[in-house]
Chain A
Amino acid sequence: MSGSASAQRPTWIAPLRLIAARIGAALLTLLLVSMVIFAISGLLPGDAAQEALGQGATAGQIAALRHEMGLDQPGPVRYVRWLGGIVKGDPGTSIVANQPVSKIISERLPNTLRLAALTSMVAVPLAFLIGVFSAIARGRRLDRALNVLTLSMVALPEFLVATLAVLLFAVKLRWLPSIALVPQEPTLGEFLRAYTMPVISLAVIVVAQMARMIRAAIIAELDRPYVEMARLKGVRPGRLIFRHVLPNAIGPIVNAMALSLSYLFGGAIIVETIFSYPGLASLMVNAVTSRDMPLLQACAMIFCATYLLLVLIADTVAILANPQLRKG
Chain B
Amino acid sequence: MTGATSMDVSRRALLGGLAAGLAASGVRAAPSTPRHGGSIRVASIATSTADTLDPAKGNNSTDYMRHYMLYSGLTQYDGQLRGRPGLAERMETRDNVNWSIRLRRGVHFHNGKPLSAEDVVWSLMRHRDPKTGSKVANIAEQFAGARATGPLDLQVRLTGPNPELPAILAGSHFVIIENGRRDFSTANGTGPYICRAFAPGIRTVVTRNPNYWKPGRPYLDRIELIGISDEISRVNALLSGDVQMINAVSPGSVKRVRASAAHQLMETPSGIYTDLIMRADNPVTSNPDFILAMKYLTDRELIKRALFRGYATIGNDQPIPPFHPMYNSNIPQRPFDPERARFHLRKAGLQNVRLPIYVSQAANASVDMGSILQEHAAQIGLKLAVNRVPGDGYWATHWMKHPLTYGNNNARATADLTFTLNYQSQAAMNTTGWHNPRFDRLLAEARASTDIARRKAIFGELQWLVHEYCGVSIPAFITLLDGYDRRLKGLFPIPLGGFMGYTFAEYVWWDA
A residues near B (Cβ < 8 Å) are 44-46, 50-58, 60-61, 64-65, 68, 94, 96-99, 104, 107, 163, 166-167, 170-171, 174, 177-179, 181, 273-276, 278, 282-283, 286-292, 295
Contacts and interface: CB of A to CB of B under 8 A. Distances in A.
Interface stretch (B128-136, B146-154, B300-308, B438-446): B128-136
Given A46-B397, A171-B239, A290-B50, A107 B202 contact: yes
Contacts of B408: 55
Contacts of A46: 392-393, 396-397
B240 A177 contact: yes
A276 B138 contact: no
Contact of B236 (A58, A96, A107, A166): A166
Interface in B355-398: 390-393, 395-397
B413 to A, nearest CB: 15
Contacts of B397: 45-46
23 contacts: A45-B396, A45-B397, A46-B393, A50-B393, A50-B396, A51-B393, A55-B395, A55-B407, A56-B137, A56-B429, A65-B133, A96-B49, A104-B49, A104-B201, A163-B232, A166-B233, A170-B240, A178-B237, A181-B242, A276-B43, A276-B226, A276-B228, A278-B202
Contacts of B240: 166, 170-171, 174, 177-178
Given A166-B233, A276-B227, A290-B48, A283 B133 contact: no
The contact size tier of chain B is 35 or more
Given A50-B396, A53-B135, A178 B236 contact: yes
A54 B395 contact: yes
B159 interface: no
Contacts of B51: 97
Interface in B441-497: none
Given A178-B236, A179-B243, 9 more contacts: A51-B393, A55-B408, A58-B428, A94-B49, A107-B202, A170-B236, A275-B233, A278-B202, A289-B390
A65 B133 CA distance: 7
Contacts of B104: none
A283 B236 contact: no
B242 A177 contact: yes
B193 interface: no
Contacts of B138: 56, 58
Contacts of A96: 48-50
Contacts of A170: 236-237, 240, 242
Contacts, number: 138
B102 interface: no
B257 to A, nearest CB: 11
Contacts of B135: 53-54, 56
A10 to B, nearest CB: 52
Contacts of A50: 393, 395-396
Contacts of A52: 50, 57, 59, 133
A196 B435 CA distance: 59
A286 B130 contact: no
Contacts of A278: 199, 201-202
Interface of B: 43, 48-51, 57, 59, 130-131, 133, 135-138, 184-185, 199-203, 226-230, 232-233, 236-237, 239-243, 390-393, 395-397, 399, 407-408, 421, 428-429
Contacts of B239: 171, 178
Contacts of B421: 56
B201 A283 contact: yes
A61 B393 CA distance: 17
Contacts of A166: 233, 236, 240
A120 to B, nearest CB: 24
Contacts of A57: 396, 428
A104 B233 contact: no
Contacts of A94: 49
Contact of A53 (B133, B185, B203): B133
A58 B131 CA distance: 13
A175 to B, nearest CB: 10
Contacts of A286: 48-49, 201
Question: Nearest 6 pairs between A and B by C-beta?
Answer: A289-B392, A64-B130, A50-B396, A46-B396, A170-B240, A97-B49
A273 B230 contact: yes
Contacts of A55: 395, 399, 407-408, 429
A54 B396 CA distance: 7
A196 B184 CA distance: 36
A283 B396 contact: no
B131 A287 contact: no
